Amino acid sequence: MPVRKRTTSSGQSTEYHYEFMQGGKRYYGVCEGCTTERAALAYEKNIRDTVKAAAEQKSVKALIDNFREVLTGGEALTLADAFERYMAKPKKRIPSEHQARTNQTYWNDFAAFMTTKYPEAVNLSDVTDRHAEEYITLLRESGAFVKEVTFTRQGRRRAIEATYTPQCDKLAPRTINARHKAIKAVFAWLKDDAGLARNPFDIPTLDNDTVSRDAFTDAELARIGDAMTMPYTQPIFTIGLCTGLTLGDICLLRWDEIADGWINNKRRRKTGVMLDIPILPPLAAFLEQQRPKTGAGEFVAPELAAMYQANPSGVMLRVKSFLEGLGIQTTAWVEGRSRAVSTKAAHAMRHTFAYLAGVYNVPQPIVQSVLGHMSPEMTALYQKHASREAKAKFLKQMPNVLGAPAAPLKRLTAAGAEPERAELHRLADTLPIEAVREIVAACRGQNRP
């Protein structure tokens, strides 16, 4: 009999047991949850059929492919549903809404590639190493699979969806790596759910030979300070150069994120890191002048926020046009690239902030804490050593880079009058303290009777 109850010292066992031979090997065990002989027979038949089918597989790969759910406890998870499942996973750090949308765009491109090229591959478990290698090669050689870019902009009455096809579809190594890592992360997080034996995107990434962005020079900062106007360029450069915030965080800075002389209720949009930044005198003067203009509004610069929410690219283009109008080169040609690369635009403010902090000997842990530019673990480590007192002490040593007054006071001279005096005034804010002391000592010596 294929199933039976065992005889014990106290009588028969309550559970049924199965026992059979397959391919010269004995299989036996308990018919779990079976209270009747009929249920036990069905349980034994299912085990016997599974063992027989497994024995007929011709390779380990065939065994894994055909018995994936049995061997791993995984399930059939489709490519179409994978990203939503991935986002539902409880992660240590929740990505920002912007980053989540970007990652979904990357995943959708890969899913479109699979649907078009390999329509029979419906589930995550159907994706092979060959598929992954072919897609990464595509990214490196000819860019994204879906060439048309879709975006949403805010019209006068409603949001409008628009599309365009870039003139150049080549991707920078950094962008290729970002796409690669985003797709690899989905497979990594869903490996157990889908019963995957390995991650097909365990492929080495490209060397990240990105072009570094330059910081603005003293002369360029002076030109920017003299030419910036409301409602766009003044808040962008004043906030950016005094805080090191990225363009999106500058444009969407809200009044409720500012309290007691600090930006202390704001998370960095890209990483979600909580920021704690002292407000330097030039920014304090700007905020004092700006608050009455915004009334009970949400944003520090409402016109700028509205433009960024409707068309972020338009804000970046406005910054680029402003800088180039001042004779500041914003792009450079790099060998191997089919188009110029941005080297000095909105993000250069962040580099300028970090550069000036280094020049004025602001300790690196404090700079990293203000920029929120580390991994969550490293940021937490640095922030333990970056107290509010330390941030305020060191950052207030930084110069008034735009030449604007630290408080709403009159300038020393009218524009164009006594340029030497105006230049000396600017140098007083930018020269190292040792040089300032030498000049003061020399002046005092000349003034002695």
Report the CATH number at residue 374: 1.10.443.10
State the total domains in the chain.
4
Tokens of 351: 């580099």
pLDDT at 264 over 70: yes
Distance CA 384, CA 293 (A): 38
User: What DSSP character marks residue 257?
Assistant: G
Mean pLDDT, to the nearest integer, of 358-383? 60
Looking at residue 127, its pLDDT comes to: 94
| Mean pLDDT lowest among 224-228, 380-384, 441-445 | 380-384
**Residue 71 domain-assigned (yes or no):** no
**Residue 335 domain-assigned (yes or no):** yes
* Residue 437 or 411, more confident: 437
- Residue (of 142, 195, 117, 194) closest to 338 by Cα position: 142
Q: Is the peptide bond before 90 cis (omega within 30 degrees of 0)?
A: no
Q: How confident is the model at residue 411 (pLDDT cuts 50, 70, 90)?
A: very low
**Residue 252 domain-assigned (yes or no):** yes
pLDDT at 357 over 80: no
**Residue 266 domain-assigned (yes or no):** yes
Q: Per DSSP, what are the bridge partners of residue 136?
A: none
Mean pLDDT, to the nearest integer, of 342-370? 72
Whether 185 and 244 share a structural domain: no
CA dihedral 255, 257, 261, 264 (to 10 degrees): 180
Whether 230 and 353 share a structural domain: yes
Continuous segment of H or E residues that includes residue 239: helix 233-243
**Residue 157 domain-assigned (yes or no):** yes
pLDDT at 345 over 50: yes
- Residue (of 244, 242, 251, 250) closest to 284 by Cα position: 242
Q: How confident is the model at residue 361 (pLDDT cuts 50, 70, 90)?
A: low
Burial class (CB in 10 A: 0-12, 13-18, 19+), 38: exposed
412-437, pLDDT tens digit by residue?
Answer: 333 344 566 656 666 666 677 788 78
Judge whether 153 and 311 are in contact, CB under 8 Å: yes
pLDDT at 378 over 50: no
User: What DSSP character marks residue 243?
Assistant: H
Whether 148 and 241 share a structural domain: no
| Mean pLDDT lowest among 71-85, 252-266, 293-307, 392-406 | 392-406
pLDDT at 342 over 70: no
Mean pLDDT, to the nearest integer, of 237-241? 90
78-89, pLDDT tens digit by residue?
Answer: 999 999 999 999
Residue ending a domain, among 194, 229, 252, is: 194
Mean pLDDT, to the nearest integer, of 282-291? 90
Which residue's structure tokens are 């047991």? 17
Looking at residue 406, its pLDDT comes to: 43
Residue ending a domain, among 359, 374, 396, is: 396
Provide the residue range defining the domain that includes 110.
79-194
Distance CA 219, CA 238 (A): 16
312-325 and 218-227 helices, crossing angle to 10°: 110
Distance CA 230, CA 304 (A): 9
Looking at residue 354, its pLDDT comes to: 76
First to last CA, the chain: 123
Whether 96 and 133 share a structural domain: yes
**Residue 401 domain-assigned (yes or no):** no
Burial class (CB in 10 A: 0-12, 13-18, 19+), 311: middle
Whether 230 and 379 share a structural domain: yes
pLDDT at 373 over 80: no
240-261, pLDDT tens digit by residue?
Answer: 888 888 889 999 999 999 998 8
Judge whether 18 and 11 are in contact, CB under 8 Å: no
Whether 325 and 380 share a structural domain: yes
pLDDT at 20 over 60: yes
**Residue 206 domain-assigned (yes or no):** no
Looking at residue 441, its pLDDT comes to: 81
Looking at residue 399, its pLDDT comes to: 65
Whether 319 and 255 share a structural domain: yes
Q: How far are the Cα atoms of 174, 329, 339, 393 from residue 334, in angstroms, in the given order? A: 14, 14, 8, 40
Looking at residue 132, its pLDDT comes to: 95
**Residue 298 domain-assigned (yes or no):** yes
Whether 171 and 298 share a structural domain: no
Whether 392 and 419 share a structural domain: no
Whether 252 and 385 share a structural domain: yes
Distance CA 225, CA 282 (A): 11
Looking at residue 51, its pLDDT comes to: 77
Whether 337 and 392 share a structural domain: yes
Residue % of the chain over a pLDDT of 70:
70
Burial class (CB in 10 A: 0-12, 13-18, 19+), 374: middle
Q: How confident is the model at residue 123 (pLDDT cuts 50, 70, 90)?
A: very high
158-198, pLDDT tens digit by residue?
Answer: 666 666 665 556 787 888 999 999 999 999 999 888 888 78
Q: Per DSSP, what are the bridge partners of residue 154?
A: 159
233-243 and 218-227 helices, crossing angle to 10°: 140
User: What DSSP character marks residue 301?
Assistant: S
User: What DSSP character marks residue 91?
Assistant: -
**3-state secondary structure at position 25:** strand
Judge whether 379 and 273 are in contact, CB under 8 Å: yes
pLDDT at 152 over 80: no
Whether 259 and 369 share a structural domain: yes
